[in-house]
């Protein structure tokens, strides 16, 4: 089976370092057209700004192209099973990137596709975001040693991949979520196996006390719109505002819901490095794509 990236720990710690270094090199120098004439199929069950545009422009920069396969464009979800989509699309393209609801669907894609499958966000994981986040932290702080991050907000997909990625990178991490919104046991165990389990708490102020960076994500994720009222009530007290931030650096995967998980003031402040994160999605993915292309 070809190498895929369904979550960040599909890479070894050394491979993660290689992909990040390659991403930084491509960002600094470009590198001809390493994916000349290669095609990325991009399957989307949910909307996207950054993931779509960064993968599509990234493939162009690398000398290849991308095919957008939105929810109304292909049979997936309307009568063609995942495994049939995987086998057919893989006969045309060199890589598949998929943004779907159920994480089991990217696993099935990877099982049946004969090309690498890249997770572009499931309900459980967002490894491409973590690659970009680690690249951004490394640029800002010159490395990962002595960097302390506090996650404040929902402990779902973006948080979970960041927990694993932080464990791999050796970042000190505290995760503050309301009760009932913490990371899965499986994610905690995988971080522990990597020797770097995050601290967890229900107290945002305590979480940020020793942090250099505060990272947050929306409270109402795509597909959770019917839980909106309940989640807004449950996340009261978890807003990242200027009082919580002080002089800390602020990260957000975007899109941001101003007035909910973060204030406009914080997002627009010099503390926020969210546009570097967004740009680094492309460089990180370029590093990943060129690395995947070289694997057996
Ligand atoms: N952060 C991220 O994945 O953004 P999009 O939903 O716009 O792709
Ligand atoms: N947690 C968010 C992340 C979006 C990139 C969601 O799943 O909608």
pLDDT for res 296: 79
Catalytic residue list contains 283: no
As for the ipTM of the complex, it is 0.99
User: CA angle, corner 110, sides to 108 and 113, nearest 5?
Assistant: 105
pLDDT for res 31: 76
Query: 293 alpha carbon to ligand 2 midpoint, in Å?
Result: 27
Average the pLDDT over 273-292 and give the result: 98
pLDDT for res 178: 98
What is the per-residue pLDDT across 64-122, written as a single tens digit (0 to 9) for each?
999 999 999 999 988 899 999 999 999 999 999 999 999 999 999 999 999 999 999 99
User: CA angle, corner 127, sides to 103 and 102, nearest 5?
Assistant: 10
Which two tokens mark 285? 């993915």
Catalytic residue list contains 159: no
Query: 129 alpha carbon to ligand 1 midpoint, in Å?
Result: 8
Q: Please, where are the H alpha helices in the chain?
A: 13-29, 50-61, 82-89, 103-112, 127-141, 157-169, 185-193, 204-208, 228-234, 242-245, 264-267, 274-293
Average pLDDT value over all residues in the chain: 97
pLDDT for res 79: 87
Average the pLDDT over 167-193 and give the result: 98
Q: Which atom of ligand 1 is nearest to the CA of 51?
A: 8
- Bridge-partner residues for 97, per DSSP? 42, 118
Q: By percentage, how much of the chain surpasses pLDDT 70?
A: 100
Catalytic residue list contains 126: yes
Edge-to-edge strand ranges of the sheet holding 199-201: 199-201, 172-176, 148-152, 213-216, 249-252
Which two tokens mark 55? 């993968």
Looking up tokens 């229900």, which residue turns up?
202
Name the catalytic one among 22, 138, 281, 283: 281
Q: Relative to the alpha carbon of 279, which ligand is closest?
A: 1
Average the pLDDT over 266-272 and give the result: 98
Q: By percentage, how much of the chain surpasses pLDDT 90?
A: 97
Q: Relative to the alpha carbon of 54, which ligand is closest?
A: 1
pLDDT for res 180: 98
Cβ atoms of residues 54 and 61 within 8 Å: no
What is the per-residue pLDDT across 182-234, written as a single tens digit (0 to 9) for each?
999 999 999 999 999 999 999 999 999 999 999 999 999 999 999 999 999 99
pLDDT for res 216: 99
87 in a labelled binding site: no
pLDDT for res 247: 98
Looking up tokens 């089991």, which residue turns up?
104
pLDDT for res 162: 99
Query: 268 alpha carbon to ligand 2 midpoint, in Å?
Result: 20
Catalytic residue list contains 99: yes
What is the per-residue pLDDT across 15-52, written as a single tens digit (0 to 9) for each?
999 999 999 999 999 879 999 999 999 999 999 999 99
């Amino acid at each position: 089976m070809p190498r895929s990236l369904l979550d960040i720990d599909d890479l070894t710690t050394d491979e993660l370092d290689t992909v990040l270094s390659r991403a930084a090199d491509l960002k600094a120098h470009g590198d001809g057209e390493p994916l000349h004439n290669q095609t990325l199929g991009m399957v989307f069950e949910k909307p996207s700004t950054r993931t779509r545009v960064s993968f599509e422009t990234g493939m162009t920069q690398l000398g290849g192209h991308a095919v957008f396969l939105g929810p109304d464009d292909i049979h997936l979800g309307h009568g063609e099973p995942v495994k049939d989509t995987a086998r057919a699309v893989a006969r045309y393209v060199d890589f598949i990137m998929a943004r779907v609801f159920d994480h089991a669907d990217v696993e099935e894609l990877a099982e049946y596709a004969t090309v690498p499958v890249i997770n572009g966000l499931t309900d459980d994981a967002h490894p491409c975001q973590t690659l970009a986040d680690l690249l951004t932290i490394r640029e800002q702080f010159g490395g990962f040693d002595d960097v302390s991050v506090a996650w404040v907000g929902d402990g779902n997909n973006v948080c979970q991949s960041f927990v694993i990625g932080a464990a791999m990178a050796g970042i000190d991490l505290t995760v503050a979520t309301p009760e009932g919104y913490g990371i899965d046991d499986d994610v905690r165990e995988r971080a522990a196996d990597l020797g770097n389990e995050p601290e967890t708490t229900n107290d945002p102020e305590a979480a940020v006390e020793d942090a250099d960076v505060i990272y947050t994500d929306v409270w109402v994720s795509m597909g959770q719109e019917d839980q909106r009222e309940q989640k807004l009530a449950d996340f009261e007290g978890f807003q990242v505002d200027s009082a919580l931030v002080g002089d800390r650096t602020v990260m957000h995967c975007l899109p941001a819901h101003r007035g909910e998980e973060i204030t406009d003031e914080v997002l627009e402040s010099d503390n926020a490095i969210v546009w570097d994160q967004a740009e680094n999605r492309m460089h990180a993915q370029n590093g990943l794509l060129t690395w995947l292309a070289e694997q057996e």
